[in-house]
Amino acid sequence: MFTEYNPINKLMFQVMDNHGKIINDKLMPEVSDQRVVKAYKDMLFARTADLQIVNYQRQGRIFTYPPNYGQEAISGATASIIEEKDWLVPAFREMGAMLSKGVTLKELFLLFMGYEEGNAYKNAKKVLPISVPIASQLLHAAGIGYEIKYNKKKELVYAFVGDGGTSEGDFHEAINFAGVWKVPVIFIIQNNQYGISTPVSMQTASESLAIKALAYGVKGIQVDGNDYFAMLKVLQESKKACENGEGPILIEAVTYRKGAHTTSDDPTKYRTKEEEESWHKKDPLDRLNKYLQDKGLWSDKEEEKIIEQFKKEVDRQFIEAENFPEYKPEEIFKYMYSETPQELKDQEHKLMEFYRWKSEKIAQTSKK
Amino acid sequence: MFTEYNPINKLMFQVMDNHGKIINDKLMPEVSDQRVVKAYKDMLFARTADLQIVNYQRQGRIFTYPPNYGQEAISGATASIIEEKDWLVPAFREMGAMLSKGVTLKELFLLFMGYEEGNAYKNAKKVLPISVPIASQLLHAAGIGYEIKYNKKKELVYAFVGDGGTSEGDFHEAINFAGVWKVPVIFIIQNNQYGISTPVSMQTASESLAIKALAYGVKGIQVDGNDYFAMLKVLQESKKACENGEGPILIEAVTYRKGAHTTSDDPTKYRTKEEEESWHKKDPLDRLNKYLQDKGLWSDKEEEKIIEQFKKEVDRQFIEAENFPEYKPEEIFKYMYSETPQELKDQEHKLMEFYRWKSEKIAQTSKK
Amino acid sequence: MKIMNMVGAINDALDIKLNEDKNVVVFGEDVGVEGGVFRVTEGLQKKYGVDRVFDSPLAESGIVGTAIGMAIAGLRPVVEMQFCGFIYPAMNQIISHATRMRNRTRGQLETPMVIRLPYGGGINALEHHSESMEAMFGHIPGLKVVSPSTPHDAKGMLIAAIESNDTILYMEPKRIYRAIKQEVKTGKFTIELGKANVVTPGNDITVVTFGAMVREVQKAMVMAKEMGISVELIDLRSIYPIDRETIRNSIKKTGRILTVTEGPMSFGLGAEISQIAIEEAFLYLEAPPARVSGYDVIVPLPKGEHHYMQDAYKILYEIERNVKY
Amino acid sequence: MKIMNMVGAINDALDIKLNEDKNVVVFGEDVGVEGGVFRVTEGLQKKYGVDRVFDSPLAESGIVGTAIGMAIAGLRPVVEMQFCGFIYPAMNQIISHATRMRNRTRGQLETPMVIRLPYGGGINALEHHSESMEAMFGHIPGLKVVSPSTPHDAKGMLIAAIESNDTILYMEPKRIYRAIKQEVKTGKFTIELGKANVVTPGNDITVVTFGAMVREVQKAMVMAKEMGISVELIDLRSIYPIDRETIRNSIKKTGRILTVTEGPMSFGLGAEISQIAIEEAFLYLEAPPARVSGYDVIVPLPKGEHHYMQDAYKILYEIERNVKY
Ligand SMILES: Cc1ncc(C[n+]2csc(CCOP(=O)(O)OP(=O)(O)O)c2C)c(N)n1
Ligand SMILES: Cc1ncc(C[n+]2csc(CCOP(=O)(O)OP(=O)(O)O)c2C)c(N)n1
Ligand SMILES: [Mg+2]
Ligand SMILES: [Mg+2]
């Protein structure tokens, strides 16, 4: 696969067409119908959550949020292959993959409501928090890869970045280090065509993003990221390659951000209606839905019903997050060091004294 | 040329063999015999200076110095093509190219003796100073390229970096920006096989350094950097391409640092005798010398004579540098801002007061 | 005169300089088509074309590094770092080149350029979007660091910054981007960089601050006044170099000084101002020069940010302590 | 006991930890085969193999960034930045991740790692090889910044740093790498990070410093003694956090304080120590807390460096001024 689809051949790996028809049976990944249905449901859950969060945001119940809308197949396929032993190093549009590792929607809500606890995944191991400084997390993935190889473990790292992120120096250094060290890391570029308002054509003049693999002597491939099966197949092959010591791998998953960059962004400023519509036809959920319906594995009725359930579940977790306990002053000091130094204890003490003074002051003022 | 020698074809461009024989006449660059002789002399001058500086350093008359020894053809070819209107953005092993732009040996000596005046090229325009933070200068080259294009000028930028430098994030960002902007910059990697003690195989797993061009959608080529004609030919073609708006270009010039990394380095710690010897056979001066002697354009006698002249000239400029006026305290403040702010004036004033106090103090003490 | 907020004033300054000087170019992430994530550069690309106002690849070292090259070659780039927390990839280019090229070459090369940096908290943002690291930048030799507190200052200072032959870090208090509206002179004017502004004269204590904190101090001053405390408010405007003279004169009058900043406490602006106070007017001091600042912690996410921030009460608390000392 | 210089002591500390803890790995530019440009890691690759002591590609962000990943996964990386001036490409990884991961995840993830940073001037080096930017690092929340001044301290502090679960910037005064020889305990011992060391008790003035400047202060003290001035010398050892208690106790005794550092003056360590002095012991102060430091300029190239540096005379000058105040 990596020979045929070497990025210099300018081929995009695809398994399913826009109507959910399998183009070439031989390219299908090994996956049970049941697993595909589960994947579809998970993608649907992510989308339901996404759309609902945008509403919460409009109601002022959550701060800035970056939706995954349109890119669900990439996380969906990752969720289908990632194991408990493996590491997930997300950028910030990998909700499905994160949930599959045991992160809860409530935790993600907490983060976007403004609590650090939203990064303290209680039931998820080996997931790094969402990374805000673009592309910087890829180096962590390379370092984790080193530890895996060093300790001869059978683990893998799935690391994500956007098309915009490929311009950062850290992207270069991460894949280069991983290449020299030959570590089992699968780097996945979610090429959703834009970095905020900047189109990929203004990020780089390279023929594709996948071809950047050649700069590091690593395997690279471009895949239709809105095609669940193609994505899964590429991940399966990448996993095998890593297990054979042929990692790292660089995957360019071609997709489209159907929503806004974040809830404070207005994409009509930089995208045309036509462009948006042309991508609607390639929607990853629609395609998988058609495939499943054709095979009799799914129905509109089921979909309606499950969306209702999902909405309730999203709401439940959202309200749980809304009821999260008040943010206490001591929490801003507590996690800075393994043991809080005297300097910080003094600062905390001063803050507490101030609060005492303030409540007295306010009490006095209101007495007058 | 750039099609045939596309780095994916894994060919190194060569014109002259190790014995100074032209492999293929059709590949020869356009260049007069006279110009070649001049280039040879310039390369010889650089080498003479280099070897002499290493001696000065041993005598404690100059601080750390990074010799060019073995890499002279790259600068030699650049010197043969660069024009007054063009910019030179050096790393720190491009003595020949710098001299050709009007930088003096004396200035280079001043720098390595510890005077900033060594970077204040009095008779050279459009040369950036030697860049110490590896690869950072490449971004300046891209920016200068932008200015050239912006003002529709007919200038070019020749920018240098080492093999080690290709690992830095700034390398990536520079070529990527230049690629997106399509600016007339010729990036030249001097692949001398090592970054201090680190071999290029530990810098990157890529097949070559030239192939990194593909990551930026720019033309790339690998060339025998110890072959003056090959180097010149590649630069001529690169120049043409830039003039046609097809820049930037990434050139990997394969060479070898015959000397130490700097005068404080000991290469026997990390290189074998065999390796060093195998490269001696490819020495850029020897090859060009043989070519010229075969053509009757040069003789050992001439060489002997001119080396003596060169030595004297090097010594003359060295002694001039040694007689450079004393470093005055005000000079450390003077160039920090376009107008020195009060804060710095105060600090300078304080330093002067201290000096007055100190000489009194010493006078007192010696009286006792 | 025209009523403007700070976003409008900055946009106006850019517009004036783009119009007047063909060497001025404006670039950065999303500053072109989108007009910047805060809409500060809105409309400028349409007006001046994609060669002069444009989107760069997503790479901060690249933005600053190429700006250095442009500046050396004769342009006057004004670049934007999208948020305060994203300037760090560019630190090497700032510390190693932008602030050194003139000194390194004994004046042969210069890098006249402006780095615009929206900074500071109070906007309910994600991590890395709320920092105020002026002290870190003030410690970099060769850099000038300035920050306006009003639309008027924003305009005059940015024009002065673009016209300066130095590298200027122009820190924009994004929290008050749209919070203050003010009459601003139309057309070109400049405000000298390096001079502080005595916003309100007073007698009992000097409060030194800049940017978004000016407004918070003003709120505290209302309460202080009720308590009979007269505050002299100094807006530094320039974080490096600091205007010692204005500070000295003020302390000689009030005998007390308090610095209010958003950044972490240790090695912050407060310590520097206090040091200046003791160097310039030790014998006039009636109380220890004090600082209100952030703590030595990461700026908390929105739900905890109020614990970190310096609101009117926290400032009043320190004013009161200092005056009672 | 064994006679060692600082290079030997650091090497010994690394050796002990590599031997004791399989999670310790050492990497950076040229630290493997070559043993580092200062020979600090000499022999370690031979002894522990290329998996544990190795050369990295030439990329500082890469070095620190991958170390963060390793640390999260359970290793204890000790990385080298080849010179102080080359740490800036890694600033983003340090500020945005290494110092934040624990706080960001409420303690779920940690990044125990040591960044070794040879720093400081006085070695006749090229530009970027002589800097002392401790104040910049001290201002980064979540970082611990330490620096030894003797071989003994170097060993004990490095072992403590490697055993700490925090990210530690370990600044090595390269100027005295081989200048001081001393008996150092063999085998393992640690020195608590965060505590200052009263090197010499005294009565008339407290001088606070660290690293290579300790020796310069000691030279000044010899001259001061002849003048009848008794100096209490405090070696901070830890630049963040600063040991307030030791400083407070000392000022209460001497009434005077001077900080000696190599870095640029403004926003430097001197201001922070002075601020601590006035916060902790204002009423004990008999003279304004003072600072001797570099100037707000680029460290000059070797021929001009003596104008910038803080030698015994410059220190004595300030001691005398302060005592006469
Ligand atoms: C270092 C850094 N610079 C700038 C930003 C601001 N920013 C947030 S998202 C974004 C665009 C990212 O584009 P891309 O990598 O394509 O990811 P996408 O948002 O499309 O998923 C930018 C510029 C940042 N978060 N980090
Ligand atoms: C950013 C940075 N990191 C580290 C160094 C220290 N250093 C100086 S030269 C060098 C090796 C450079 O190797 P290469 O790019 O191959 O150039 P060469 O010396 O072989 O010409 C290193 C690591 C530096 N100057 N700058
Ligand atoms: Mg994108
Ligand atoms: Mg090299």
Closest CA to B115 of C104, C102, C97, C99: C104
* pLDDT 10s digits, B11-34: 999 999 999 999 999 999 999 999
- Distance of CA A163 from the midpoint of ligand 3 (Å): 5
Nearest CA to ligand 2 atom 17: B162
Q: Starting from the CA of residue D95, give the closest ligand.
A: 1
Cα–Cα separations (whole angstroms), residue C142 to C60, C68, C103, C165: 20, 14, 8, 12
Pocket of ligand 1 (CB under 6 A): A 93, 132-134, 162-165, 190, 192, 194-196, 257, 261; C 29, 58, 60, 82, 86, 89
- Distance of CA A44 from the midpoint of ligand 3 (Å): 21
Q: Which fold has domain A7-322?
A: Rossmann fold (3.40.50)
- Distance of CA D80 from the midpoint of ligand 2 (Å): 14
C101-107 average pLDDT score: 98
The answer, for B245 touching chain D at a CB cutoff of 8 Å, is no
User: pLDDT value at position B156?
Assistant: 98
Distance from C-alpha of C308 to C-alpha of C298, rounded to nearest angstrom: 9
Three-state secondary structure call for residue D91: helix
- Which of the two residues, A368 and A252, has the higher pLDDT score? A252
- Write the ipTM: 0.98
Domain spans, chain B: 7-322, 331-367
Enumerate the H helices of chain D as residue ranges: 6-20, 44-48, 60-72, 91-93, 101-104, 134-138, 151-163, 213-226, 244-254, 269-281, 302-308, 312-324
Q: Which fold has domain D2-184?
A: Rossmann fold (3.40.50)
* pLDDT 10s digits, D218-231: 999 999 999 999 99
How far D256 CA lies from chain C's nearest CA (Å)?
Answer: 13
Q: Both tokens of residue B287?
A: 């090859």
| Catalytic option among B47, B93, B257, B271 | B257
* pLDDT 10s digits, A127-173: 999 999 999 999 999 999 999 999 999 999 999 999 999 999 999 99
Q: Taking every pair of C-alpha atoms in chain C, what is the biggest distance, in angstroms?
A: 59
Nearest by CB to residue C103, choosing from B147, B170, B335, is B335
- Distance of CA A255 from the midpoint of ligand 3 (Å): 9
Low-confidence winner among B57-61, C42-46, D162-166 (lowest mean pLDDT): B57-61
Q: Both tokens of residue B184?
A: 């007339």
Please tell me if the CB atom of residue B202 comes closer than 6 angstroms to any atom of ligand 2.
no
Nearest by CB to residue D165, choosing from A87, A145, A338, is A338
User: pLDDT value at position B366?
Assistant: 81
- The catalytic site residues of C sit at 129
The answer, for D133 touching chain C at a CB cutoff of 8 Å, is yes
Please tell me if the CB atom of residue B225 comes closer than 6 angstroms to any atom of ligand 2.
no
User: pLDDT value at position B263?
Assistant: 82
Chain B window 114-143: which residues touch C at a Cβ cutoff of 8 Å? 116-117, 119-121, 128-129, 132-133, 136, 138-143
pLDDT-based confidence at residue B295 (cuts at 50, 70, 90): very high
Please tell me if the CB atom of residue D29 comes closer than 6 angstroms to any atom of ligand 2.
yes
AA identity, residue A338: S
- The catalytic site residues of A sit at 257, 261, 270
Of chain C, the end-to-end C-alpha distance in Å amounts to 45
- Distance of CA A190 from the midpoint of ligand 3 (Å): 7
Q: Do B206 and A212 touch (CB under 8 A)?
A: no
Q: Do D244 and A338 touch (CB under 8 A)?
A: no
User: pLDDT value at position B175?
Assistant: 98
Average pLDDT, chain C: 97
Which residues in chain C are closer than 8 Å to A268, comparing Cβ atoms?
none
- Distance of CA A213 from the midpoint of ligand 3 (Å): 18
Q: Do A206 and B212 touch (CB under 8 A)?
A: no
* pLDDT 10s digits, D185-220: 999 999 999 999 999 999 999 999 999 999 999 999
Contacting chains of D (3 CB pairs or more, <8 Å) are A, B, C
Residue of C123, C126, C309, C318 to mutate when probing chain A, most A C-beta within 10 A = C126
Residue of C275, C299, C301, C321 to mutate when probing chain D, most D C-beta within 10 A = C275
- If you write DSSP's letter for every residue of B2-54 in order, what string do you get? TTTT-GGG--EE-SB-TTS-BS-GGG--S--HHHHHHHHHHHHHHHHHHHHHH
User: pLDDT value at position A120?
Assistant: 97
Please tell me if the CB atom of residue B195 comes closer than 6 angstroms to any atom of ligand 2.
yes
Q: Which fold has domain D197-324?
A: Rossmann fold (3.40.50)
Count contacts between A and B (CB, < 8 Å): 81
User: pLDDT value at position B365?
Assistant: 81
Nearest CA to ligand 2 atom 12: B195
C47-60 average pLDDT score: 98
Cα–chain-centroid distance for residue A55? 20
**CA angle (B268 as vertex; B264, B270 as ends), nearest 5:** 95
The answer, for B254 touching chain C at a CB cutoff of 8 Å, is no
Residue in chain A closest to B136 (alpha carbons) equals A169
Report the phi/psi class of residue B182: left, alpha or beta, with left for phi > 0 and alpha for psi in -120 to 50.
Answer: left
Domain spans, chain D: 2-184, 197-324
Cα–Cα separations (whole angstroms), residue B10 to A4, B194, C275, D115: 19, 21, 63, 39
Distance from C-alpha of B164 to C-alpha of B168, rounded to nearest angstrom: 8
Per-residue pLDDT for A365 more than 90?
A: no
How far D129 CA lies from chain B's nearest CA (Å)?
Answer: 9
Buried b (16+ CB within 10 A) or exposed e, B327-363: bebebbbbbbbeebbebbeebbeebeebeebeeebee
| Catalytic option among D97, D128, D129, D139 | D129
- Which of the two residues, B57 and C50, has the higher pLDDT score? C50
Q: Do D108 and A119 touch (CB under 8 A)?
A: yes
* pLDDT 10s digits, A287-334: 999 999 999 999 999 999 999 999 999 999 999 999 999 999 999 999
Residue in chain C closest to A92 (alpha carbons) equals C126
Q: For chain A, give the percent of residues with pLDDT over 70.
A: 100
Residue among A93, A134, A263 whose CB has most ligand 1 atoms within 8 A, to mutate: A134
The answer, for B338 touching chain C at a CB cutoff of 8 Å, is yes
Pair A67, A50: CB distance under 8 Å = yes
Q: Starting from the CA of residue C38, give the closest ligand.
A: 1
- Distance of CA A166 from the midpoint of ligand 3 (Å): 10
User: pLDDT value at position B368?
Assistant: 66
User: pLDDT value at position A368?
Assistant: 66
Nearest by CB to residue A169, choosing from C89, C126, C265, is C89
Nearest by CB to residue B206, choosing from A168, A207, A216, is A216
* pLDDT 10s digits, A265-292: 899 999 999 999 999 999 999 999 999 9
Average pLDDT, chain B: 97
- Distance of CA C63 from the midpoint of ligand 3 (Å): 19
Cα–chain-centroid distance for residue A299? 28
Pair C234, C199: CB distance under 8 Å = yes
Nearest by CB to residue A167, choosing from C30, C33, C57, is C57
Q: Do B203 and A180 touch (CB under 8 A)?
A: yes
C71-95 average pLDDT score: 98
Q: Which three-class secondary structure string do you get for chain A?
A: CCCCCCHHHCCEECCECCCCCECCHHHCCCCCHHHHHHHHHHHHHHHHHHHHHHHHHHCCCCCCCCCCCCCHHHHHHHHHHCCCCCEEECCCCCHHHHHHCCCCHHHHHHHHHCCHHHHCCCCCCCECCCCCCCCCHHHHHHHHHHHHHHCCCCCCEEEEEECHHHHCHHHHHHHHHHHHHCCCEEEEEEECCEECCEEHHHCCCCCCCHHHHHHHCCEEEEEECCCHHHHHHHHHHHHHHHHCCCCCEEEEEECCCCCCCCCCCCHHHCCCHHHHHHHHCCCHHHHHHHHHHHCCCCCHHHHHHHHHHHHHHHHHHHHHHHCCCCCCCCHHHHCCCCCCCHHHHHHHHHHHHHHHHHHHHHHHHHHC
User: pLDDT value at position A224?
Assistant: 98
The answer, for A215 touching chain D at a CB cutoff of 8 Å, is no
The answer, for C142 touching chain D at a CB cutoff of 8 Å, is yes
Nearest by CB to residue C307, choosing from A264, A332, A344, is A332
Residue in chain A closest to D53 (alpha carbons) equals A150
User: pLDDT value at position B264?
Assistant: 83
Distance from C-alpha of B183 to C-alpha of A205, rounded to nearest angstrom: 12
Please tell me if the CB atom of residue B133 comes closer than 6 angstroms to any atom of ligand 2.
yes
Q: Both tokens of residue B3?
A: 């099609």
* pLDDT 10s digits, D245-289: 999 999 999 999 999 999 999 999 999 999 999 999 999 999 999
Residues contacting residue D261 through CB under 8 Å, at least 6 positions apart: D132, D134, D135, D209, D210, D213, D268, D269, D270, D291, D292, D293, D294, D310
Residue in chain B closest to A176 (alpha carbons) equals B204
Which residues in chain B are closer than 8 Å to C109, comparing Cβ atoms?
128-129
* pLDDT 10s digits, B317-367: 999 999 999 999 999 999 999 999 999 999 999 999 999 999 999 998 887
φ, ψ dihedrals at A127, nearest 5°: -125, 125
